[in-house]
Amino acid sequence: GAGVSQSPRYKVAKRGQDVALRCDPISGHVSLFWYQQALGQGPEFLTYFQNEAQLDKSGLPSDRFFAERPEGSVSTLKIQRTQQEDSAVYLCASSLAGTSGTDTQYFGPGTRLTVL
């Protein structure tokens, strides 16, 4: 598979649990993005990495959300003490170079998180 992959595809968590969502970008892609998509809405930006550096985390809704990309490839989005409002689809995207405005972002299938 040459595309962006995400795991798990579905995650059910009890309120208060911690969850970790994984993203494998397209090989060789420098930039990686996380988005949150609520039901019936468009994706909303969460955070952005260029290689291992997190250059923008302005979209993270609270300090319960944390993302990392330690080796500049695979990324993990962690949500601590999940709340019901965290229920959404979490999309990962990658692009070839370092500036999203010039490069197309290619998206993974998403992880659907349901917090009970």
Spell out the residues 6+ positions from residue 101 whose beta carbon is closer than 8 angstroms to its own.
Answer: none
Terminal-residue alpha carbon distance, the chain? 33
Q: How far is the CB of 16 from another protein (least distance, A)?
A: 26
Pattern 18-57, binding to another protein, x per CB under 8 A? -------------x-x-x----xxxxxx--x------xx-
Please give the single-letter amino acid code of residue 95. S
DSSP per-residue codes, 20-67: EEEEEPPTT--EEEEEEE-TTS--EEEEEEETTEEEE-TT--STTEEE
Q: How far is the CB of 27 from another protein (least distance, A)?
A: 17
Q: How far is CA 65 from CA 38, 46, 82, in A?
A: 16, 9, 9
Which of positions 91-110 make contact with another protein (CB under 8 A)? 91, 93, 99-102, 104-110
Residue closer to another protein (CB basis): 48 or 65:
48
Residue closer to another protein (CB basis): 16 or 42:
42
Residue closer to another protein (CB basis): 47 or 82:
47
Binding site for another protein (CB under 8 A): 31, 33, 35, 40-45, 48, 55-56, 59, 89, 91, 93, 99-102, 104-110, 112
